[in-house]
């Protein structure tokens, strides 16, 4: 599955993308804001991530600049089996050189459209409390804070850290609204 937005091309992650992934995520400032990525992040981690199978209803995308194919980050959907059995979880990371340029919001809008087209009705997300920029992105994407602060393990930090939880219901007319804007 591919998606083209104004500045970005979201495309499947292929095994040969491991170097682009490694170049963007092998930064402690990026990894510490993720739950599942280890630190230090090495080439083998990038190869394993790029080779992972993708479920059709849980797509993951390489975020690239449409103009030149430069890797900006990754974004995807994952079933949250623990607390939110009826929801899909949004997760993403953006390489440090691209922070603060609106790429996470632009990619997030695209993935929410994809989630809706796949039949998902509820999306959850969270961010570590010491990463308020991610909370701003989630609010721009229409997520509402649940009011819950929960401890979540971060492989990159090697410990538990508090996270703020968010959720969003995908309306049936969401695609029409975005295309009209």
Task: Give residue-wise pLDDT tens across range 78-87.
Answer: 986 666 668 9
User: What was the pLDDT predicted at 58?
Assistant: 95
DSSP state letters, the chain:
--EE-SSEEEE---GGGHHHHHHHH-SHHHHTT-SS--SS--HHHHHHHHH----TTS-EEEEEETTT--EEEEEEEEE--SS-TT-EEEEEEE-GGGTTSSHHHHHHHHHHHHHHHTT--EEEEEEETT-HHHHHHHHHTT-EEEEEEEEEEETTTTEEEEEEEEEEEPPTTHHHHHHH-
User: What was the pLDDT predicted at 86?
Assistant: 82
Domains of the chain: 3-180 (3.40.630.30)
Residue numbers of the chain with a pLDDT score lower than 50: 176, 179-181
User: What was the pLDDT predicted at 176?
Assistant: 46
User: What was the pLDDT predicted at 173?
Assistant: 53
């Amino acid at each position: 599955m591919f998606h083209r937005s104004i500045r970005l091309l979201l495309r499947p992650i292929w095994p040969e993308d491991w170097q682009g992934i490694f170049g963007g995520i092998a930064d402690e400032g990026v990894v510490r804001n993720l739950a599942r990525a280890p630190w230090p992040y090495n080439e083998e981690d990038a190869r394993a991530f790029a080779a992972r199978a993708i479920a059709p209803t849980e797509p993951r995308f390489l975020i690239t600049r449409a103009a030149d194919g430069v890797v900006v980050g990754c974004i995807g959907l994952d079933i949250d089996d623990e607390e939110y059995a009826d929801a899909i979880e949004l997760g993403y990371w953006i390489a440090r050189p691209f922070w603060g340029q609106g790429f996470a919001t632009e990619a997030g809008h695209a993935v929410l459209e994809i989630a809706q087209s796949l039949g998902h009705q509820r999306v959850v997300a969270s961010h570590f409390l010491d990463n308020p920029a991610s909370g701003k992105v989630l609010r721009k994407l229409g997520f509402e804070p649940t009011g819950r602060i929960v401890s979540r393990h971060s492989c990159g930090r090697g410990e538990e850290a508090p996270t703020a939880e968010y959720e969003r219901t995908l309306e049936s007319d969401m695609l029409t609204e975005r295309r009209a804007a």
